[in-house]
Amino acid sequence: MKLTLQIWRQNGPQDKGKIENYQVDATEEMSFLEMLDVLNQQLIEEKKDPVAFDHDCREGICGACSMVINGRPHGPQKATTTCQLHMRHFKDGDTIVIEPFRANAFPVVKDLVVDRSAFDRIIQSGGYISVNTGQAPDGNDIPIEKGISATAFDAAACIGCGACVAACPNASAMLFTSAKVSHLALLPQGAVEGERRAQSMVAQMDKEGFGFCSNTGACEIECPKEISISNIARLNRQYLKSSIASSEINE
Amino acid sequence: MNWFLRFFTSSIGRKLIMSLTGLFLIVFLVIHLIGNLQLLNDDNGLSFNTYAYFMTTNGLIKTVSYGLYLFILLHAFQGILIAKVNKSSRKNRYVSNQGQVANWESRNMAILGILIFAFLLMHMGDFWLKMKMGQLDMVKYDGYDHPVKDLYGRVSIAFNQLWIVAIYVIGQIALYLHLKHGFASAFQTLGWNHPKYTPLIKSVGLVYAILIPLGFALIPLYIYFVK
Amino acid sequence: MKKLDPKVPEGRLADKWTDYKGTMNLVAPNNKRNIEVIVVGTGLAGASAAATLGELGYKVKVFTFHDSPRRAHSIAAQGGINAAKNYQNDGDSIYRLFYDTIKGGDYRSREANVHRLAEVSANIIDQCVAQGVPFAREYGGLLANRSFGGVQVSRTFYARGQTGQQLLIGAYQALSRQVATGQVELHTRHEMLDLVLEEGKARGIITRNLVTGEIERHAAHCVVLGTGGYGNVFYLSTNAMGCNVTAAWRAVKKGALMANPCYTQIHPTCIPVSGSYQSKLTLMSESLRNDGRVWVPKKKSDVEAIRNGSLKAKDIAEEDRDYYLERRYPAFGNLVPRDVASRAAKQACDSGHGVNKTGLAVFLDFASAIQRYGKSEAFKHGITDPDQETILKYGEQVVEQKYGNLFEMYEKITGDDPYKTPMKIYPAVHYTMGGLWVDYNLETNVPGLFAIGECNFSDHGANRLGASALMQGLADGYFVLPYTIGQFLSHEIRVPKLKNDSPAFLEAEKAVVERIDGIFAVNGNKSVESFHRELGLIMWEYCGMSRNAEGLKKAQKLIQDLRAEFHRDVFIPGDKNEYNPELEKALRVADFMELGEVMVLDALNREESAGGHFREEYQTAEGEAMRNDEDFTHVAAWEWNEESGPIRHVEELQFENVELKVRSYK
End-to-end CA distance of chain A: 64
Of C149 and B225, the one with more pLDDT: B225
The pLDDT of residue B146 is 85
Strand intervals (E) in C100-166: 156-157
Residues C330-371: tens digit of each pLDDT: 988 998 888 889 999 999 999 999 999 999 999 999 999 999
- Does B14 contact A246 at a Cβ distance shorter than 8 Å? no
A46 part of contact set with chain C, CB < 8 Å: no
- Does A28 contact C415 at a Cβ distance shorter than 8 Å? yes
Shortest Cα distance, chain A CAs vs residue B63, angstroms: 26
Mean per-residue pLDDT, C371-381: 94
Give the whole-angstrom CA distance, residue C475 versus residue C116: 9
CA distances from C201 to A118, B38, C4, C63, C449 (A): 37, 92, 18, 20, 7
Residue among C333, C360, C364 nearest C348 (CA): C360
- Catalytic residue of the set C96, C338, C588, C663: C338
CATH top class, domain A2-110: alpha beta
Query: How many Å is the Cα radius of gyration of chain C?
Result: 25
Shortest Cα distance, chain C CAs vs residue A182, angstroms: 11
Which secondary-structure segment (H or E) carries A73? strand A72-73
Using an 8 Å Cβ cutoff, are B180 and B205 in contact?
Answer: yes
Does C338 participate in catalysis according to the annotation? Answer: yes
Which residue in chain C has the smallest CA separation from A116? C67
- Does A58 contact C48 at a Cβ distance shorter than 8 Å? no
Shortest Cα distance, chain A CAs vs residue C605, angstroms: 33
Confidence of residue C295 (pLDDT cuts 50, 70, 90): very high
The domain spans of chain A are 2-110, 117-244
Chain C residues inside the 8 Å CB shell of A80 = 412
- Does C76 contact A28 at a Cβ distance shorter than 8 Å? no
Indicate the pTM of the whole model: 0.96
C88 part of contact set with chain A, CB < 8 Å: no
| Test mutation, B80, B101, B196, chain A, max A CBs within 10 A | B101
Q: What is the pLDDT along chain B (227 residues), one digit of tens a residue?
A: 578 888 999 999 999 999 999 999 999 999 999 999 999 998 889 999 999 999 888 999 999 999 999 999 999 999 999 999 999 999 999 999 887 899 999 999 999 999 999 999 999 998 988 888 878 889 988 888 888 899 999 999 999 999 999 999 999 999 999 999 999 999 999 999 999 999 999 999 999 999 999 999 999 999 999 87
Chain A residues inside the 8 Å CB shell of B86 = 169-172, 211-212, 214
- Does B101 contact A167 at a Cβ distance shorter than 8 Å? yes
Kindly report the length of chain A.
251
Residues A6-27: tens digit of each pLDDT: 999 999 999 999 999 999 999 9
The pLDDT of residue A249 is 54
The domain spans of chain C are 283-429
Which residue in chain A has the smallest CA separation from C57? A132
Considering only residues 116 to 145 of chain A, which have any Cβ-Cβ distance to chain C shorter than 8 Å?
A: 116-117, 119-120, 123-140, 142-145
Say whether B103 sits in a helix, a strand or coil. coil
Confidence of residue A247 (pLDDT cuts 50, 70, 90): low
Mean per-residue pLDDT, C442-449: 98
Give the whole-angstrom CA distance, residue C500 versus residue C51: 24
A75 part of contact set with chain C, CB < 8 Å: no
Chain A residues inside the 8 Å CB shell of B180 = none
Chains in touch with C (≥3 Cβ pairs < 8 A)? A
Sheet holding A95-100, edge to edge: A18-25, A2-9, A95-100, A67-69, A72-73
Of C621 and C115, the one with more pLDDT: C115
Give the whole-angstrom CA distance, residue C296 versus residue C349: 9
C283-429 placed in CATH 3.90.700.10: yes
Kindly report the length of chain C.
666
Residues C569-613: tens digit of each pLDDT: 999 999 999 999 999 999 999 999 999 999 999 999 999 999 999
Which residue in chain B has the smallest CA separation from A74? B99
Say whether B211 sits in a helix, a strand or coil. helix
**Identity at B49, one-letter amino acid code:** N
Count the Cβ atoms, other than its own, within 10 Å of residue B125. Answer: 11
Residue range B12-88+105-225, CATH number = 1.20.1300.10
Shortest Cα distance, chain C CAs vs residue A130, angstroms: 8
Chains in touch with A (≥3 Cβ pairs < 8 A)? B, C
Count the Cβ atoms, other than its own, within 10 Å of residue A236. Answer: 27
| Test mutation, A72, A85, A229, A236, chain B, max B CBs within 10 A | A236
Q: What residues contact residue A171 under an 8 Å CB cut-off, 6+ apart?
A: A102, A103, A104, A105, A106, A165, A210, A211, B86, B89, B90
Mean per-residue pLDDT, C23-35: 95
| Class of residue C417 by CB neighbours under 10 A (exposed 0-12, middle 13-18, buried 19+) | exposed
The pLDDT of residue B1 is 56
The domain spans of chain B are 12-88+105-225
Which residue in chain C has the smallest CA separation from A155? C134
The pLDDT of residue C1 is 72
Mean residue pLDDT across chain C: 95
B199 part of contact set with chain A, CB < 8 Å: no
Using an 8 Å Cβ cutoff, are C338 and C266 in contact?
Answer: yes
Give the whole-angstrom CA distance, residue A42 versus residue C530: 12
Give the whole-angstrom CA distance, residue A174 versus residue A172: 6
**Identity at B208, one-letter amino acid code:** Y
Considering only residues 89 to 108 of chain B, which have any Cβ-Cβ distance to chain A shorter than 8 Å?
A: 89-103, 106-107
- Does A187 contact C70 at a Cβ distance shorter than 8 Å? no
Chain A residues inside the 8 Å CB shell of B198 = 230
Mean per-residue pLDDT, C141-146: 95
Which residue in chain C has the smallest CA separation from A125? C180
Give the whole-angstrom CA distance, residue B45 versus residue B150: 8
Instruction: Name residue C425's beta-bridge partners.
Output: C362
Considering only residues 335 to 374 of chain C, which have any Cβ-Cβ distance to chain A shorter than 8 Å?
A: none
On the CB side of A96, how many CA atoms lie within 13 Å of its CA?
28
Give the whole-angstrom CA distance, residue A27 versus residue B159: 65
Model confidence at C12: pLDDT above 60: yes
On the CB side of C586, how many CA atoms lie within 13 Å of its CA?
28
Which residue in chain A has the smallest CA separation from B7? A243
Q: What is the ipTM of this complex?
A: 0.98
- Does A84 contact C130 at a Cβ distance shorter than 8 Å? no
Mean per-residue pLDDT, C461-488: 96
Pairing of strands C362-365, C293-297: antiparallel
Model confidence at A193: pLDDT above 80: yes
Interface size A-C, in CB pairs within 8 Å, comes to 221
Give the whole-angstrom CA distance, residue C581 versus residue C572: 9
Give the whole-angstrom CA distance, residue C562 versus residue B203: 68
Give me the residue from A113, A128, A152 closest to C579, CB to CB: A113
- Does B101 contact A222 at a Cβ distance shorter than 8 Å? yes
Chains in touch with B (≥3 Cβ pairs < 8 A)? A
Pairing of strands C59-63, C184-187: parallel
A117-244 placed in CATH 1.20.210.10: no
Torsion sign (Cα): C226, C230, C235, C237: negative
